[in-house]
A and B are shown apart, each in its own frame.
Chain A
Amino acid sequence: MILKVDPSIWFKVYTTIEFFVLIQYFYRLLKGKYTYLHYFFGILYSVCFGFILYQGKIDNFMDGDDYLQLIESVFVIIAILLWMKYAFINLEEDSLLKYPHFYFISGLLFYFSGTFFLYLLGSVILENEKEYFIDYWMLNLFFNIFFRILLLIGIWKARVQ
């Protein structure tokens, strides 16, 4: 039953879970500050997802994913900029390279920056240049792998500490 569900639906579910996990992560990382930002993006995402459901686009690949990914990418980039502002103001005497969070943040930054335009223009590429879509999708694959490697390094650093 579960395996018969369209992958497009799983992709949207994955994106939604990912987004709310990221909201929780940045909420803890920023020590509970900028709550309004988290609420704003959370509500915006929920409204957008609800709209996609209403439009019946839940099982169309890249249809609606661009909006969801755009909201997620903008939220992540803003949260990272706020974290960097915090890092600048409270400069520690230890190198940032020793902190696991630096690797998580770097991975997120590269992934969402690298795939920002891919998701933004994904549906357009699928409509007009379907045969080249898989070449563009390799970008997502590459940044995903790079992101996971940085996550692994961050987790390894956390374990070593």
Chain B
Amino acid sequence: MTTPDHTAAADPRAQPDSAPAAPDAAGLAVDIPFTEPDLFRLRAEVAAHTSAVGDDDLVHRVLIVASELATNVVRHGGGAGRLRLWTADHAVVVEVSDRGDGIVHENPGMERPDPMSRGGRGIWFCRQLAEEFTINTGPAGTTATARFRLPR
């Protein structure tokens, strides 16, 4: 199955933001296109690969972030996306991208959500769990990148 091309808007390497660049295909631990039925498998793969490089705490953090980003894609980002995970510079990096309509808020997930609010807490959760989090969004799609430091 051929992976879809990324448009400039969704390609982190074209952005002025400091999202880590993904290695070529051979350096990727995980590279999964996904839709809703793939969420269970996606979580299992993310957890399996992360447990090889980190402890339970890291596995939980990476798993939660990967899953919330993927869920956002499925529910709000057009339904189909791509998850890539790799290690570089003593860190685990998770990148989730889609070709949906983009997020309306310029800087989503910066404010703590009201506990009684119905939705819209996934990105805030991600920002609490990853050491670095960047999100590039526009009318051609969204790419979110989370970086988790590995202990030396």
Q: Is B one of A's binding partners?
A: no
Q: What residues make up the interface of A, taking CB atoms closer than 8 Å to B? A: none
